[in-house]
């Protein structure tokens, strides 16, 4: 028993760490950090570091994740940013590395169930808190301000809410397709409606809405051409509902169209909307890239160069990051940075190509959401997006590896039995 206790204790630490991470993905970044610390301690106590490294080498996102951090670290050598900004970049991108422990920790089907159960419970709590605050405000009841709606920090970032909601819609749709019980289908359908309404009426994120529509279309066209065409009709209905019941969304899209038209024609355009700011940031980023195409200006250079394109008031938004991951790395690391980001997305796609059925759909759906978010935000820079994407990819990759291992064992057993007969 004395020899078994350390191994048991190490296993429980990993279990608790995984539950904390995936319950924290939709609810609390602080809880995610606690979970990663428990995972680190559990892996450290478990020993067998050679085995851990060997397992990491089978993870398709291991190499691009490490390359991103190496690029950021190397970029400090020629970076023109201040020491504080470069240190901030190093600290933020270093936080990609602990999520590799999630892949190491998820090494059994039992732990996969732990992770999905914790994630589902966290999503339920997220939606409940959103509706609680929404109804409290409508009924005139006491409600905390948006930034302090709860202790759950992820609720402060509406973009992460919308991405989570879109992914939950994908998972629920696939679960509804596989359910055989009519009662379970009704239950899943109700949950689906809750997710859709929370996205369309409580959230105002264009990235989340675009991601939702794309993953639902992906789901439909993987079923059949007819299902895909029907879904296109459904998308038009969703867009009509969004414009009708979300005036803020309609106003944002109209402002974006106006700003884009002014930019193309060379006229002056407003930067009061998120669309106008993004167009200005993207245009400025391309100009900065043109000054150093191959290696960029180094780590922290966007914050140093962007003030020449924006006034002090605009810099509060426009001088942090350009709201496009390719352009962000393009300014700081040139075409080399663009290649590294593209390599990361390529590995995400090939991870899905290696899967089958629902698992392939979940991985490709997550990849679509990452691409959409990378076009309008900075999923490697922003903490909420970083937590969501790198936790979920690690879980799905581990699930894929376990599923493939079981399939190989079953084939080997079948061949052995066939040989004996």
Q: Write the pLDDT tens digit of every residue in 57-68.
A: 999 999 999 999
Look at residue 274 and tell me if it is in a domain: no
Q: Which residue has the tokens 């700081």?
A: 332
CB 201 within 8 A of CB 243: no
Structural domain including 419 reads: 61-97+289-421
The tokens describing 189, both together, are: 């359908």
Look at residue 92 and tell me if it is in a domain: yes
What gap in Å lies between CA 348 and CA 354, rounded to an integer? 10
Of all helices (H) and strands (E), which one includes residue 233? helix 225-245
Look at residue 119 and tell me if it is in a domain: no
CB atoms within 10 A of CB 202: 17
The per-residue b/e assignment along 164-192, b for 16 or more CB within 10 angstroms, e otherwise, is: bbbbbbbbbbbbbeeeeeeeeeeebeebb
Look at residue 127 and tell me if it is in a domain: no
Q: What is the pLDDT of residue 417?
A: 46
What gap in Å lies between CA 343 and CA 404, rounded to an integer? 24
Q: Count the domains in the chain.
A: 1
Look at residue 417 and tell me if it is in a domain: yes
Burial (CB < 10 A; 0-12, 13-18, 19+), residue 257, is exposed
What gap in Å lies between CA 158 and CA 202, rounded to an integer? 9
pLDDT tens figures, 113-137: 899 989 888 887 777 776 776 677 6
Contacts of 313-322 with CB under 8 Å at 24 or more apart are 314/271, 314/277, 314/280, 317/277, 318/271, 318/277, 318/280, 318/281, 318/284, 321/378, 321/381, 322/281, 322/282, 322/284, 322/285, 322/378
The tokens describing 276, both together, are: 């106008």
Query: pTM of the full predicted structure?
Result: 0.85
Q: What is the pLDDT of residue 41?
A: 92
Look at residue 376 and tell me if it is in a domain: yes
At how many degrees (to 10) do helices 158-178 and 206-223 cross? 20
List phi, psi (to 5°) of 380: -85, -20
Look at residue 78 and tell me if it is in a domain: yes
pLDDT tens figures, 358-414: 899 899 999 999 999 999 888 999 888 899 999 999 999 999 999 886 545 444 443
What gap in Å lies between CA 344 and CA 303, rounded to an integer? 24
For the ranges 49-53, 154-158, 214-218, 275-279, which has the lowest average pLDDT? Answer: 154-158
pLDDT tens figures, 272-323: 566 777 888 998 999 999 998 899 999 999 999 999 988 888 888 788 889 9
CB atoms within 10 A of CB 248: 8
* Coil/strand/helix, residue 67: helix
Share the mean pLDDT of the chain.
81
Look at residue 386 and tell me if it is in a domain: yes
H helical segments located in 246-293:
247-265, 274-291
* Coil/strand/helix, residue 373: helix
């Amino acid at each position: 028993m004395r020899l078994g206790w350390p191994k048991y204790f190490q296993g429980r630490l990993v279990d608790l760490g995984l539950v904390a991470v995936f319950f924290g993905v939709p609810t609390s970044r602080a809880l995610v950090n606690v979970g990663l610390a428990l995972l680190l301690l559990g892996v450290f106590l478990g020993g067998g570091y050679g085995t851990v490294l060997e397992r990491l080498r089978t993870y398709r996102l291991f190499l691009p994740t490490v390359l991103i951090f190496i690029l950021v670290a190397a970029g400090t050598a020629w970076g023109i940013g201040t020491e504080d900004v470069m240190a901030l970049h190093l600290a933020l991108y270093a936080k990609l590395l602990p999520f590799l422990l999630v892949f190491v920790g998820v090494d059994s089907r039992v732990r996969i169930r732990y992770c999905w159960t914790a994630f589902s419970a966290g999503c339920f709590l997220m939606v409940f808190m959103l509706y609680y605050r929404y109804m409290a405000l409508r009924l005139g009841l006491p409600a905390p301000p948006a930034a302090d709606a709860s202790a759950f920090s992820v609720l402060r970032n509406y973009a992460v809410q919308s991405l989570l909601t879109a992914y939950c819609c994908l998972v629920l749709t696939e679960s509804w397709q596989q359910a055989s019980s009519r009662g379970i289908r009704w239950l899943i359908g109700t949950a689906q409606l809750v997710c859709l309404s929370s996205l369309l009426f409580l959230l105002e994120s264009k990235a989340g809405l675009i991601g939702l529509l794309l993953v639902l279309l992906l789901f439909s066209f993987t079923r059949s051409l007819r299902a895909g065409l029907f879904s296109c009709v459904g998308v038009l209905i969703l867009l009509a509902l969004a414009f009708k019941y979300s005036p803020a969304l309609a106003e944002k899209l109209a402002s974006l169209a106006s700003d884009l038209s002014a930019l193309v024609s060379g006229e002056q355009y407003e930067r009061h909307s998120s669309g106008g700011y993004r167009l200005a940031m993207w245009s400025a980023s391309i100009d900065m890239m043109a000054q150093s195409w191959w290696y960029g200006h180094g780590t922290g250079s966007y914050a140093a160069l962007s003030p020449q394109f924006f006034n002090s008031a605009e810099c509060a938004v426009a001088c942090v990051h350009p709201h496009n991951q390719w352009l962000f790395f393009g300014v700081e690391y040139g075409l080399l940075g663009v290649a590294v980001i593209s390599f990361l997305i390529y590995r995400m796609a090939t991870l899905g190509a290696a899967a089958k059925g629902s698992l392939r759909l979940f991985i490709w759906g997550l990849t679509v959401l990452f691409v959409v978010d990378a076009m309008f935000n900075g999923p490697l820079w922003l903490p909420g997006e970083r937590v969501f994407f790198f936790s979920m990819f690690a879980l799905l990759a581990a699930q894929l590896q376990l599923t493939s291992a079981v399939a190989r064992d079953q084939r080997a057993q079948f061949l052995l039995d066939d040989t004996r007969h």
